[in-house]
Structure 1
Amino acid sequence: MKVSIENLTLAYGKNTVVRDLDLEIADGESLVLLGQSGCGKTSTMRCVAGLESPNEGRITIGDNVMHDSSSGRTVPPNKRNVGMVFQSYAVWPHRTVFENVAFSLQMQKVGKDELVSRVHETLDLVGLRELAERGASLLSGGQMQRVALARSLVMRPNVLLLDEPLSNLDARLRERLRMELRELQLRLGLTTIYVTHDQVEAFALADRIALMQNGRIVQSGAPDQIYTAPASGSIAEFLGVGNLFACSPTPGLSGAVTLTDHDFTIRVDATVPDHSDRLLVCLRPEDLTVTPMHEETTAGVGWAGRIDVASYQGASVRYRITLDGGPNIEALATGSSKGALHIGERVAVDVPPGAAQLLVDDRNQLVGALS
C-alpha cells in the first residue's frame, strides 16, 4: 500500500528531531531513509509504525488515516498492520523457529490450520523451512535475522519497516542478505521503508533514496541519481562520491575554477558564479585516469604525481596520489594485476571532460545546525 506523510514534526522537549517532513511512498516501492546518526530517519519510521506520537502532521497508509494531529486521531500500533524488523533480532531463544514466527498469528487468534500453512509458507520464503523445529538459540546471526523477517512477513503487512536489520552481521553475510531482501521485496511487491546510515546498503536496496539531514529530507531520487548528482557538498561528502576541493571562479576563464589551496585550474560543465566563497569541485575517483609517467613523458598528459598508497580491493585498486605542487587525490582503477601501479611510481592523472562537478559547500552550515 502507498504511504503518505504530510508536515510531520516530532520533538522531545526543545529538541526537534523531525521537521515539517513530507514524503510519499508508492505502492510496492522500496524507499530507503539514509543519513547520519541523529538525522531523524528512525524517528520518522517509528512515527509510521505508531511507536512515536508526532507533534504535528498526518500519516496515511492506503486510504486509512493512521495519525492526524489536527483531529487528534491516532491508530494504535497493533491496528496498523505494519511489520517491523529491528537491528536487534528480538528472537525468543527458548522457542523454536516455528513458534517464533507463529506468535503474532496466535495473538491474532488465527485458526490452527491457517496458522500452520502461513508459517510454513513464510519459512519457505526466507529459506528456513527445514529449521522449523530447531531452537532459536541454536541459530546463526543470519538465521536469526531471517526469523525476525519471517515473523513480520507472516502477518502479511501492508507496509514493512526495517531499522538497520543487517548492521549486526559480518560483511559477507550482510552482502548476501541484502540481495535476498531485495529479491523478496520485488517478488512480493512489498511497500518497504528501510532505515540505514550505510550508503552501499541504501544503493543496493532502494527504488528511491530519501537522504535526511537535521530532521529534513534534503535530496530524494533513484540511487544512481543521488550518487551521480549530489545536491550539495555535505551530501557528496557523506556518500563518499569524490575528491572534494574548495575552489573559486578562475578570473578571465569561463567554465573553470581554481583550487583554493593550490594553483590548479579545472574545467567544469556548469555555470560558475562570478563571486562565491562557498564552492567545491568534486572529482570522483572512478572518473579519473591514471597512467604511468616515464622519463620520456612530456608535458600535457595530465597532472603529474606520485603514488603514496595502493590498496588492492579485488575487483578494483584504490590509489592515493600526491600531485606535484597540488593536493592529495584518490583514484579508482580496475583490479587487473597486469596494469597495477606501485607505491612510489610516477604517474599522470587525467580528468576527462565533464567529470568535474561543481557543488555548494554547506558543510559548516550543517555542523552548526546539528550542534
Structure 2
Amino acid sequence: MQIVIDNLSLNYGDNSVFSGLSLDIVDGESLVLLGPSGCGKTSTMRCIAGLEEPSTGSITIGDRTVFSATDGINISPHRRNVGMVFQSYAVWPHKTVFENVAYSLRRQRVGGGQIRERVGRVLELVGLAEMADRGASLLSGGQMQRVALARSLVMQPSVLLLDEPLSNLDARLRERLRLELRELQLSLGLTSVYVTHDQVEAFALADRIALMQDGKILQLASPEEIYAHPATTSLASFLGVGNIFGCTVDRGGAHVADSDLIVELPASAKALSGATSVCMRPEDLTVAPLADGLHGSNTWAGHILVSSFQGASIRYRVALDAGPTLDAVAARRSGPTLRTGERVTVTCPVEAAQVLLDDGGPAPTATDLVTTGVAA
C-alpha cells in the first residue's frame, strides 16, 4: 500500500515535534526513518499508526484517508490495518508461541480452523514453526522478537511499522535478523516503515532512507546515495563518516583549517563555495611504510598512533606531519600489519576526497576526529 503524508504537523502543547512534514512512500517500499533521538522519527511512525493525533495535514494509506485535520477524519488505530512491531517484545510469558500469535485473531472471533492455518503459515515464515507449543518464557531474545513480528504479520496488515525492534539484541543476532527482516519484506512485497538511529541497520534494510534532524527530512535517497553523497557535514558526521575537517576551497584544493594539509580535489568539488568541510573516508585511504620521499597526489607522511587488529581488517590512527590525525582501515591481507610509532605514508585518491557544505553547526577542525561506527 502507498502511504502519503502531506503537510503534517505535530505539537505537544507549545512544543513542535515537526511542522509541514510531507513524505510519499510507494507500494512495496521499505523506507527507513533515520536520525538521532528527538528528531521526530518515532512520532512520525506513531502518526501513521494512529497512536498520535497530528495538529495539521493528512495521511493516506492506499486510497483511504486515515487522517485529515481539514476534514475531521481520524480513523482509530485498529481500523487502519497497520501492523506495528515495538522495541519491547510485549510477549505474554505465560502463553505459548502459538497462543501469543493467535491472540489477536481470537479477539476478532476468527474461526479455529482459519486461526490454525494463518498462525501456522506465519510461524513457518519467521522460522518458529517447531516452537509453536513452547512457552514464551523459554524463548531467547531473538525468538521473542520473531514472535512479536509474527503477531503483526498474522493480521495481514497493509503496512508494517517497526520501531527499533532489534535494539535490545546482541550485535551478532541483530546482524542476522536484519537480513531475515529484509528477506521477509522483499518476499511479501510489504510496504514497511522502519525507525532506527543505527545507520548500519538503515543501510541494510532500506530501499530509501529519510534522514531526519529537528523534525525535518534533510535528505531522502537510496542507501547508496546517502552513503556516497551525504548532503551536509552534520549528516555525514551522524552517519559515522570519518576524517571530516573544516576547510577553505580554492583552485589549489582544500586547505584544512589549523594545519598545513592541502587535499587535492576532483574538479566538481572545487566548484563549491561557502563554509565547507573536506572528508576522506577511512576505507579509501592507503597506509604504507614510509619509503624514499613522497610520490603522487594526496600522499602525506606521518606516524602510527594506534594499530588495531580487527579480524578481517586493521584500523590505523595516523598523525600526519602536516597536522591532522586520520583514521584508515586496511584489509588484513593487503600487507603486513604496521606497528605503533612506525613512520608511514597515507594516500587518498583524488576522486575519493569529498567536500561537504556545512549547515550551521561548528565546522570540525584539524584536531577533531570523527571516526566510523554506529551513531548513538
What are structure 1's unaligned runs of at least 5 residues? 367-371
Normalising by structure 1, we get a TM-score of: 0.94
Distance 1:126 1:190 in 2: 15
Aligned residues: 360
* Aligned pairs for 1:93-132 within 5 A: 93-132=93-132
Match among 294, 316, 320 for residue 299 of structure 1: 294
Q: Show the counterpart of 1:369.
A: none
Distance 1:107 1:325 in 2: 69
Contact 1:122 1:154 in 2 (8 A): yes
Distance 1:54 1:69 in 2: 8
Per-residue Cα deviation, 1:144-201 (whole angstroms, up to 9, x for no partner)? 0000000000001000000000000000000010011011001111100000000100
Q: Show the counterpart of 1:321.
A: 318
Q: Say what the alpha-carbon RMSD is for the aligned residues.
A: 1.5
**Ranges of 4+ aligned residues in structure 1 off by more than 6 Å:** none
Cα shift at 1:325 = 3.0
Per-residue Cα deviation, 1:44-95 (whole angstroms, up to 9, x for no partner)? 0000000000001110000000100111101000000000000000001111
Q: Show the counterpart of 1:159.
A: 159
Deviates more, 1:325-334 or 1:188-197: 325-334
Q: Show the counterpart of 1:63.
A: 63
Distance 2:112 2:65 in 1: 32
| AA at the equivalent of 2:210 | A
Contact 2:269 2:354 in 1 (8 A): no
* CA gap 1:264/1:2 in 2 versus in 1, 3 angstroms: same
Distance 1:230 1:93 in 2: 44
Q: Does 1:237 align with 2:237?
A: yes
What are structure 2's unaligned runs of at least 5 residues? 364-376
Normalising by structure 2, we get a TM-score of: 0.93
Secondary structure of 1:161's counterpart equals strand
Cα shift at 1:271 = 4.9
Q: Show the counterpart of 2:26.
A: 26
| AA at the equivalent of 1:135 | G
Secondary structure of 2:127's counterpart equals coil
| AA at the equivalent of 1:43 | S
Cα shift at 1:324 = 0.7
Q: Show the counterpart of 1:347.
A: 344
Secondary structure of 1:325's counterpart equals coil
Match among 335, 353, 358 for residue 355 of structure 2: 358
Distance 1:299 1:234 in 2: 33
Percent identity for Structure 1 against Structure 2:
61
Deviates more, 1:119-128 or 1:315-324: 315-324
Distance 1:226 1:47 in 2: 25
Per-residue Cα deviation, 1:309-359 (whole angstroms, up to 9, x for no partner)? 122222221111000131000111112285322211111011112111111
Cα shift at 1:272 = 3.7
| AA at the equivalent of 2:111 | G
| AA at the equivalent of 1:289 | T
Contact 1:211 1:217 in 2 (8 A): yes
Q: Show the counterpart of 2:216.
A: 216
Match among 277, 281, 285 for residue 280 of structure 1: 277
Cα shift at 1:300 = 2.9
Q: Show the counterpart of 1:42.
A: 42
Per-residue Cα deviation, 1:224-246 (whole angstroms, up to 9, x for no partner)? 10000000000000001231001
Distance 2:282 2:93 in 1: 46
Contact 1:91 1:147 in 2 (8 A): yes
Cα shift at 1:19 = 2.0
Distance 1:363 1:130 in 2: 55
